[in-house]
Structure 1
Amino acid sequence: MHPAAHVAPGAQIGAGCHIGPGCIVSAEAVLEPGVELMAHVVVDGRVRIGAGAKVFPFATIGLPPQDLKYKGEPTGVVIGPRTQIREHVTIHRGSTGGEGMTRIGADCLLMCVAHVGHDCRIGDGVIIVNKVMLAGHVEIGDFALIQGGAAVQQFVRIGRMAMVAGMSGVERNVLPYSRVKGFRAKHAGLNAIGMRRRLGLTKEQVVVVARAVHDLYRQGRPEETAVALLPAYAGNELVEEILGFARNRGRHGLVPFGRWSDEEDGGEGS
């Protein structure tokens, strides 16, 4: 621990941690073995940072949520192992309006100046690029990619391995394995390259999934259509995952279908 750092009595610091100059660590914080806080990092309140995670200068973790209903309740943040949090990232603690915890999974990368609002739940292997803004209660599935400057409305769900294009505004839920883009984000195809690379799918298998997504949107009421489509794609785990996601409407429906749907078998992979 650098002599210019301040670690409050009661903080639990694991073996091999490095706490650089100007860092402030609260009494309720838990740093698991090998965590590195480079310099001028603030860890406030009930925060647990997983083993081997690395936090770059001027990031803040666990400060109170930007929620006028919050009255100082004992909420917190949990960050998974080996996650990297770059410069000026802000991660706010949970609120009583959610489960009380903001959660970020293992092996994630949060790039500079990204914001993670209260009660967000982010899966493993997620990449959040510079200046992304996540409002409260956003859910992001494993290995999703949110590109630079995108803004995600509160309570929106983004499925596993989905891709959100830079500068997009996401007001509705994003299907697993899909790509969305636009000032008001619309469905723009599948993350086909990512599906082939990470899941080992053939192009023909990806086309089946693409056809299911077309069928899902064709009737105009995808939450209801998903139920009717299940028998036709029974046994296809990816399609069943997509249809199950579509059925769980939550507070928002799905992003609308875009005019660029002819790109269904293209796109960039993560």
Structure 2
Amino acid sequence: MRARYHLEYGSVLVLAALLRALPRIAALEVGAALGQVGWWLRIRRRLVLANLAQAFPGSTSRERRRIAVRAARNFGRTVAEFVRFAGSDRELVGELVRLEGVEALREVLATGGGAIVVTAHLGAWALYVTALAAAGIPSALLVGRQHNPKVHRFILGIPGEAVHFVPKSRGAPRDILRCLRDGRAVVMVADHRAGRHGELAPFLGRVASTLPLPGAISARHGTPIFLMAGRRITHGEHLVALSRLTLPTGGDEDARRHAITVACNEALGRAILACPEQYFWYHRRWHGQSNGEQAG
């Protein structure tokens, strides 16, 4: 295994131990400070500002920088919350994360067939699927693989056994359908750039390669789709709203797949624009985005 992987993993363990040892609010402030340091070190700064210029074309440079700094601090807090979750914070998730609209999701799952839940890198997104499971919603999460296998195992171990993981792979559609037949809510973080196999659809005003699975599965099987949008309302508490999307039904399957993907992107975009300082702007998100926009 590469020496860099061992160094990364060791750094993660040290940071996790520190954040778990501190009182909760102090740990979140340490996380925010680390996010601020990342901004000062110009980590992906050009990309973040380019993404904000795309999402807010009428904004000033000063406004975009203000959002970017707050977003960096939010990301640091999110990291702190996530690594603390494997400790005592796991027992507090019902108090820390307030769910709205969960009964509508529960009613859909009770009829059989499951549901898809689309979400974005908004608020403390890593915690919200665990909050669903803690509320008694049988949940699954579509996950990518980290380059560092030790860090990957560490991350997957944090939520415990309450959440079923579906690896992103060629077999993912089959695994997702199995989860849906089992009556699970399958959560997909759907704002990543999906590469050459993605569905091209507008996202925050520009064409984006979008995760095709929600639209493809719903178009073929009629699976309901919910939006999950969360945000931090105090330093230690979150509000997560679940709402069922009204999906297009006309046209053939390909047309429905595309229209559903557009509807999901529009819903995600509205949630992000309502709370941009809590969004993760660090991804090269849009189709055809230049190398210059990646630099940080």
Do they fold alike, i.e. is TM over 0.5? no
With the length of structure 1 as denominator, give the TM-score of the two structures: 0.27
Of the two, which has the highest radius of gyration? 1
With the length of structure 2 as denominator, give the TM-score of the two structures: 0.25
Q: Which has the higher helix share?
A: 2
Q: Whose relative contact order is higher, 1 or 2, with alpha carbons under 8 Å and at least 6 apart?
A: 2
Q: Which has the higher strand share?
A: 1
